[in-house]
């Protein structure tokens, strides 16, 4: 049976999620990749242990994480049952529903039928009575927002989630959803969106400012742009890259000459700061205190340890931020 590092809380920084009582670690562990059926179970165990040993208390999942869909929740459920059950009250476990999960008209989007059924399935796979945060995973253009938010409220009132969140929402829709949830007295505390040096959509669509104004948290996924903001692609695309082995989220045509020049220039800025490109990219996401936590993905424990160096990263100067903008916004 696993026993955690007793000094795990001494170095991690924790930030309040909006104006709620919940604190999230500055770095959270995402299960989007490398925790499905194609992963090595022992490696999954060691990544969970490494994360928790260093104060990463938040494990983020979704119903469709795999491959196969559901397998990431099943694998974490096994780790929780066999190794981490005694630490359940020290962990924040989140999951989501909103993307295609099972055949037919009831396994997708944002209906009350889908969200409640999906969470029931997730809880079985995880072996838990409740998740700490349950998200609607994406905006649904056809289901009334009142129905989707009502389902989230019902989920909390049933005891199957402690808090709710919204993922991949824009600023205007988030504000409308927040108003509904506030009227229902439902604890909506966090938004999960892609955000990194290259992808600033949440600034452009108003989500970041709306979250700050509404005192809601933000957690960023893909803070390293699927690995582009690391030293992995400085000299081109490696043969074992996700570009070649998967190709669903990162494509060879994204690495044109302008992109490669930008990555190399950003790496030079990071080197001048005495940091890796990944460390600087993570620091950029949380630079102004609006983002509560960054979700890192990892394929091995050493990557988690490398990303945790962001905790000791120096603040940016105005000159550095201007240089980063020049590199990224010139694409």
Q: How far is CA 47 from CA 65, 240, 288, 299, in A?
A: 17, 20, 29, 8
d(CA 231, CA 297): 15
Question: What integer pLDDT is reported at residue 244 of this predicted model?
Answer: 47
Both tokens of 278, joined, read 């990944």
Contact present, 168 and 136 (Cβ < 8 Å) = no
Q: Is the pLDDT of residue 215 over 80?
A: yes
d(CA 292, CA 117): 29
Question: What integer pLDDT is reported at residue 89 of this predicted model?
Answer: 98
d(CA 90, CA 253): 43
Please state whether 104 falls in left (phi above 0), alpha (psi between -120 and 50) or beta. left
Q: Using the 8-state DSSP alphabet, how is residue 248 labeled? A: S
Q: Using the 8-state DSSP alphabet, how is residue 291 labeled? A: -
Question: Structural domain boundaries of the chain?
Answer: 14-250+285-314
pTM comes to 0.94
| Cα four-point dihedral sign 30, 15, 135, 254 | negative
* pLDDT tens readout for residues 222-275: 999 988 999 887 776 666 555 545 555 565 567 678 888 899 999 999 999 999
Question: Which DSSP string corresponds to 196-223?
Answer: -SS--HHHHSSHHHHHHHTT-EEEEE-T
Contact present, 131 and 160 (Cβ < 8 Å) = yes
| Cα four-point dihedral sign 19, 21, 25, 28 | negative
Helix 145-157 × helix 112-126 angle, to 10°: 40
* pLDDT tens readout for residues 186-214: 999 999 999 999 999 999 999 999 999 99
Please count the CA atoms within 13 angstroms of the CA of 63 that sit on its side-chain side: 26
d(CA 293, CA 255): 28
Q: Which ranges in the chain belong to alpha helices (H)? A: 41-53, 71-79, 112-126, 145-157, 171-183, 201-204, 207-213, 242-245, 257-272, 277-285, 301-307, 318-329
What residues contact residue 242 under an 8 Å CB cut-off, 6+ apart?
A: 33, 226, 227, 249, 250
For residues 286-304, average pLDDT: 97
CA-nearest of 106, 23, 110, 96 to 64 is: 96
Which listed CATH number (3.20.20.100, 2.130.10.10, 1.10.10.10, 3.30.2000.10) goes with 14-250+285-314?
Answer: 3.20.20.100
The band of 329, judged by pLDDT with boundaries at 50, 70 and 90, is confident
Quickly count: other Cβ atoms within 10 Å of residue 265's Cβ: 16
Q: Using the 8-state DSSP alphabet, how is residue 31 labeled? A: -
What residues contact residue 325 under an 8 Å CB cut-off, 6+ apart?
A: none
* pLDDT tens readout for residues 68-123: 999 999 999 999 999 999 999 999 999 999 999 999 999 999 999 999 999 999 99
* pLDDT tens readout for residues 175-187: 999 999 999 999 9
């Amino acid at each position: 049976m696993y026993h955690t590092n007793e000094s795990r809380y001494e170095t991690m920084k924790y930030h309040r999620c909006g104006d709620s009582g919940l604190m999230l670690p500055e770095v959270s562990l995402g299960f989007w990749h490398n925790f499905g059926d194609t992963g090595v179970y022992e490696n999954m165990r060691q990544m969970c242990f490494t994360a928790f040993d260093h104060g990463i208390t938040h494990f983020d999942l979704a119903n469709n994480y795999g491959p196969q869909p559901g397998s990431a929740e099943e694998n974490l459920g096994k780790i929780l049952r066999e190794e981490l059950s005694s630490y359940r009250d020290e962990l924040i476990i989140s999951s989501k529903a909103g993307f295609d999960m099972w055949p037919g008209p009831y396994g997708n989007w944002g209906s009350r039928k889908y969200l409640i059924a999906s969470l029931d399935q997730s809880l079985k796979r995880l072996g838990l009575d409740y998740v700490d945060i349950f998200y609607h995973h994406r905006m649904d253009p056809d289901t009334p927002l009142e129905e989707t938010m009502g389902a989230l409220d019902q989920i909390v009132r049933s005891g199957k989630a402690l808090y709710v969140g919204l993922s991949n929402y824009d600023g205007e829709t988030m504000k409308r959803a927040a108003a509904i949830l506030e009227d229902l007295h439902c604890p909506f505390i966090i938004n999960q969106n892609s955000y990194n040096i290259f992808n600033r959509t949440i600034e452009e669509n108003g989500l970041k400012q709306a979250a700050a104004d509404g005192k809601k948290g933000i957690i960023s996924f893909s803070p390293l742009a699927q690995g582009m903001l690391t030293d992995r692609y400085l000299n081109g695309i490696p043969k074992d890259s996700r570009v070649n082995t998967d190709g669903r989220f990162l494509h060879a045509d994204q690495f044109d000459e302008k992109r490669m020049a930008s990555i190399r220039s950003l790496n030079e800025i990071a080197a001048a700061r005495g940091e890796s490109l990944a460390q600087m990219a993570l620091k950029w996401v949380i630079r102004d205190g609006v983002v509560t936590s960054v979700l890192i993905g990892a394929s091995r424990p050493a990557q988690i340890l490398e990303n945790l160096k962001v905790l000791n990263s120096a603040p940016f100067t105005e000159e550095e931020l201007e240089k980063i903008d020049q590199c990224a916004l010139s694409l």
